[in-house]
Amino acid sequence: MPLGDAEYMDRALSLAARGRGLTSPNPLVGAVVVSPDGVVVGSGYHERAGEPHAEIHALRAAGGAARGATLFSTLEPCCHTGRTGPCVDSILEAGVARVVVGVEDPNPRVRGGGVQFLREHGVDVTVGVREAQAARLNLPFFVRVRYGRPLVMLKVALSRDGYVARRSGVRSAITAPAAVRDAHALRAEFDAIAVGSDTALVDDPVLTAREVHRVRPLTRVIFDSRLRTPPASAVFGTRDAGPIVIVTSEADVAAVPERAAALEHAGARLLQAPRHDLPSALRVLGAEGVTSLLLEGGPRLHAAAWEARVVDRVRLYVSPAAFGAGGVPWFTTGASVREALDDVDVRMVGPDECTEGYVHRTD
């Protein structure tokens, strides 16, 4: 018995997720071709930016069986020529009778144009099947198109009593090895990972994704308006892992040109935002092609991001250990952040509790 539109779209969504961490700055897209009697005759997903889109993979797999069939695509088929040709042309050439779309493409170059083109050429089109799931799958893409900045995920590890370190200026291990591995797997999904200059000074992190498979280089970002990052920092010893970017301002580079020159000599690329505020800095990163940013610390940077309303997702690791008096507090209580989250997932990672959710927005 043939499945319904929603079930076939679920298959396409599962396929799309296989491209996670590989397609940026392009979205994740999956496609399934189904014959009139309900048989899946072709499927595929967008595997890497610059390579064929999901619809093309699915149509090639279907071959002649695509004629008269239904194509399910998680995102509206493109109608413009970028690094690849428009998918709508291939859909027409294959003789597809019906197209079911998960969500309309927010890209101004498409935005309903693919659907309109197909309908004008006699293809029956349905839009909005599993729309929320399809949009959530590509939240980085949607955020970048809508706001001109990367999706920002705030990640923090806390002691049971809400501290990020045992005392000020001291690097502190908080979570157990299982949670550390879990966090490195998360890093592998993002275009970039970022910390503030305080964290760079105290922790001297290398900001790499370790013990996980990652195909693309990982961009390491330090938000450093005063250019305090030492040129001898450990991160500069890992330049083969990916670019090292220091986000600062035009005024600060002009004020301390010798520091700027030393950091560039060490291997950093300086991105100069026009203003000191975090939204401006994030837009500079978005313009550089960064679609997803994992914001790892510290409290001052987390506070600035939260107050600027640029946090889209949150992951909290909470250790069973307590640090007691003298600990360095996070910028706010974990409870208040949890109250702002939708679709909350709570799980145990070894002895540590991991809470993750999307930030509820009304704008």
Tell me if residue 353 is catalytic: no
Query: With b meaning 16 or more CB within 10 Å and e meaning fewer, what string describes 39-54?
Result: ebbbbbbbeebeebbb
| C-alpha dist (Å) from residue 125 to 61, 68, 259 | 21, 13, 57
| C-alpha dist (Å) from residue 181 to 207, 210, 264 | 13, 8, 31
Catalytic pick among 55, 104, 288, 296: 55
Ramachandran bin of 130, using left for φ above 0, alpha for ψ from -120 to 50, beta for the remaining angles? left
Determine how many CB atoms are found less than 10 A away from the CB of residue 145.
17
CA angle 334, 337, 342 (to 5 degrees): 130
Q: Does residue 203 contact residue 232 with C-beta atoms inside 8 Å?
A: no
Cα gap 346→315, rounded to integer Å:
10
| C-alpha dist (Å) from residue 359 to 61, 107, 266, 316 | 39, 23, 37, 13
The residues assigned a catalytic role are: 55
